[in-house]
Chain A
């Protein structure tokens, strides 16, 4: 099964509202990253948060990380129609001295104008 599970799977909100999506993972990590993907396009990096950080901001984005619960959340404030996309978390799953980046299942966000 995938390292990251995200919820909700889909989210529909009105423009101006806040959107929150959550990511849970299974193994210890050094960092967790959030990406956005517009339909049919490649992935765009949003934020990277390290395991010793609890919260990080970038513009209208706020990411929290709780390593004790192995979970993270992405908050988009004052959403815009242009925020409509799929959002994925990725963790650097570590084992046996190596690391690999595993993606969650994603949240499809639709912002209605």
Chain B
């Protein structure tokens, strides 16, 4: 099993550009989520999903969209990148009541 795979590992965007961060898991987990972590800070929940076709907002959803068309994939879309979205993004998945499995993160810089 590959676990949780995030791509890309690094990305530089100009203000106003859009892009999609990819997240895939091969563990048949129903729960998937996206977090952002700013320097020296904790993880803040952006969006999450408890199953295919079901998504909901987390703590900091503005400026991001998600969809969950399959159990395996949970892409995060930045609609119009802003410097405030410079951060490290983590995708995680789990079964209910079980530990979260994290991807290795995507380091995004918006100039």
Q: A-side interface residues toward B, CB under 8 Å?
A: 2, 4, 30-31, 33, 35, 42-43, 45, 48, 50, 88, 90, 92, 98-106
Q: Which of B92, B94, B100 has the most CB of A within 10 A?
A: B100
Are A103 and B48 in contact (CB-based, < 8 A)? no
| Alpha-carbon separation in the docked complex, A43 to B94 (Å) | 14
Cross-chain contact A101 with B33 (CB below 8 angstroms): yes
Q: In the bound complex, do residue A92 and residue B92 qualify as a contact, i.e. CB atoms below 8 Å apart?
A: no
Nearest chain-B residue to A1 (Cβ)? B59
- Secondary structure call for the A interface: strand
Q: Are A100 and B99 in contact (CB under 8 A)?
A: no
Q: Mark B67-86, 1 if CB is under 8 A from A, else 0.
A: 00000000000000000000
Residue of B nearest to A33 (CB): B99
Can you list 20 contacts pairing A with B, beta carbon distance less than 8 Å? A2-B42, A2-B44, A30-B97, A35-B100, A42-B102, A42-B105, A45-B100, A48-B98, A48-B99, A88-B42, A99-B50, A99-B96, A101-B31, A101-B45, A101-B48, A101-B92, A101-B94, A103-B35, A103-B42, A103-B44
Chain B min CB distance to A53 (Å): 12
* Minimum CB distance partner of A106 in chain B: B42
Of residues 85 through 111 on chain B, the ones whose CB sits less than 8 Å from some CB of chain A are 90, 92, 94, 96-100, 102-105
A contact residues around B31 at 8 Å (CB): 99, 101
Given the complex, which residues of A lie within 8 Å of B99, measured CB to CB?
33, 45, 48
Given A42-B104, A88-B43, A103-B44, A98:B97 Cβ within 8 A: no
On chain B, the residues within 8 Å of A43 by CB distance are 43, 90, 92, 100, 102
